[in-house]
Structure 1
Amino acid sequence: MYDFKPDPSLDPAERYRQLRDAADALTSTELDGVANMANVAALIWEFLPDLNWAGFYRMGQNARGESELVLGPFVGRPACIRIPLGVGVCGTAAQSKTTQLVEDVHAFPGHIACDSASRSELVVPVIREGKVVAVIDLDSPEPARFTGADADGLEALAQMLADRI
């Protein structure tokens, strides 16, 4: 049985280091990307306070063969299944290949409200060989919940996972 419980008093850099270490322990030898995303979503939920959604959207295709994001493993309330590139925070992160740290989702043009309780969001693209393969999406009911330290920590996690999902 795995029991990954961080000390709530940890500073953000140490919290994310421990999160990466736990994710590395769970994913380093597993070849199934979906299993790895599921375990990492659960770890994020355990490690990071004040979230109402944590998980992945994977790069996929729609019925017309166009690239879009497709819901992957997550923890939280049911979510939007497909997100076009360039739409909402996740679609913007995937299309631009850049982290999106949004203090107030209601002020973000085109925000997709899967959960009306969400107030802030952090989305980090997972990039393999120059292509986005997924995004890690965190939502919080707290305005301005995410900081630059959260973005840095999640970017390091995404980089580690790039060849494992």
Structure 2
Amino acid sequence: MVADSLQVLFCGINPGLMSAATGHHFARPGNRFWPVLHLSGFTPRLLRPAEQAELPSYGLGITNVVARASARADELSAEEYVEGGRLLAEKVTRLNPRWLAVVGVTAYRAAFGDRAARVGPQQRTFGDTRVWVLPNPSGLNAHWTTATMAEEFARLRVAAEA
């Protein structure tokens, strides 16, 4: 779900198999994206993946770095990440969201060749679009809890509203 002039364009790594089957981003039940989006204040209620079409009404959009579906992100090649980053940069330049929020620091590093990137705002911009790297909401990411993830998403929300 993308549109022109969004406040935040969220960018996942690539569709998982369930997302590919349903056509809905972050569709796997253990994925924490939708709960974190709500807990951070981006949405007034918890949306289900099937309700992703509501995101533009909140100034939000969603896309992926790599279009190819896989069971796990580690199945993607370095070339797929680099090409995905190139295509994403073109998309962001065309759509001009206020912020691009890449969900997953490892994916951001691979797509844009920035080994030093950390979660948080980045120096890189795409035209007028600022970049923020968020933690990966996959249930496999044990380094972040739902609560700490929501705090980081909320930092971005505050910056996007400023």
Please identify which structure carries the higher helix content: 2
Is this a same-fold pair by TM over 0.5?
no
Asked which structure has the greater CA Rg, the reply is: 1
**TM-score normalised over the length of structure 1:** 0.31
**TM-score normalised over the length of structure 2:** 0.32
Please identify which structure carries the higher strand content: 1
- With a CA cutoff of 8 Å and minimum separation of 6, indicate the structure with the bigger relative contact order: 2
